Chains A and B, each alone.
Chain A
Amino acid sequence: EPEVTQTPSHQVTQMGQEVILRCVPISNHLYFYWYRQILGQKVEFLVSFYNNEISEKSEIFDDQFSVERPDGSNFTLKIRSTKLEDSAMYFCASSPSQGWETQYFGPGTRLLVL
């Protein structure tokens, strides 16, 4: 069964450093998303991406965040200058061509900012 993959599974970084989280969505999907979950809290939407551009972003997704689809398979989330409060689990998700269809989540990247 096709699945969303994410790398790395864990990342530890120093405050102020840049991190890039990588995702490979399911191959025939066209809508891509990033969510995050701070430990003990709910899953929160960050950004959606369609047709090579951001379609919606949350208040969390400020100028320190960016997304990119550099080739036909990868979808990346970059945090330019990490803060302590960026420590969270980051989930990538994708869905098929129709915007209302189910989103499938990757296993997540656990980011720890020290």
Chain B
Amino acid sequence: RKEVEQDPGPFNVPEGATVAFNCTYSNSASQSFFWYRQDCRKEPKLLMSVYSSGNEDGRFTAQLNRASQYISLLIRDSKLSDSATYLCVVTSSGGYNKLIFGAGTRLAVHP
């Protein structure tokens, strides 16, 4: 089983749509969870951290279910600029914060 699994997509959605991405992770000892965004041939950029209580940042909402080892990201009112690959990222169980990346889910928002 892969350490972090994501649906590769692509998700093709019109502007204004709501889109949801899911992710599962295999290591129950993982401590921290993130969504990063990566544009083509660019570095990953932190979108948001994910907490058990759920958290929201503008149009973005992230949820974590530790029991199911499941992470989600909801994007409301999609913009053209949201087109990117969304990376689900967890930390290892060790103390030095090694990031374990999923392969990413590609989102294409069209007019």
**Residues on A close to B: CB < 8 A?**
31, 33, 35, 41-45, 48, 50, 55-56, 89, 91, 93, 95, 99-108, 110
Q: Does the CB pair B41–A103 fall under 8 Å?
A: no
Residue B58, interface by CB 8 Å: no
Other A-B contacts than A42-B101, A105-B43, A108-B43, 19 sampled, CB-CB below 8 A, are A35-B99, A42-B87, A42-B104, A43-B87, A43-B99, A43-B101, A45-B98, A45-B99, A45-B100, A48-B97, A48-B98, A56-B96, A91-B43, A100-B91, A102-B49, A103-B46, A103-B97, A104-B46, A110-B41
Q: Does the CB pair A91–B44 fall under 8 Å?
A: yes
Query: Please, which residues of chain A bring their CB within 8 A of the CB of B99?
Result: 33, 35, 43, 45, 93, 103
Chain B residues with a Cβ closer than 8 Å to the other chain, count: 24
Total A-B pairs, Cβ < 8 A: 57
For the complex formed, measure the closest distance between the CB of A36 and the CB atoms of chain B, giving whole angstroms. 11
- Secondary structure call for the A interface: strand
Residue B95, interface by CB 8 Å: yes
Q: Does the CB pair A55–B42 fall under 8 Å?
A: no
Chain B 77-98 per-residue mask, 1 if CB under 8 angstroms from chain A, else 0: 0000000000100010011111
- Closest B residue, CB atoms, query A104: B46
Residue B69, interface by CB 8 Å: no
- Secondary structure call for the B interface: loop
Residue B13, interface by CB 8 Å: no
Query: Please, which residues of chain B bring their CB within 8 A of the CB of A110?
Result: 41
Query: Please, which residues of chain B bring their CB within 8 A of the CB of A107?
Result: 42-43
Select B96's contact among A91, A99, A102, A108, beta carbons within 8 Å.
Answer: A99
For the complex formed, measure the closest distance between the CB of A32 and the CB atoms of chain B, giving whole angstroms. 10
Give A48 to B103 CA distance when docked, in angstroms: 21
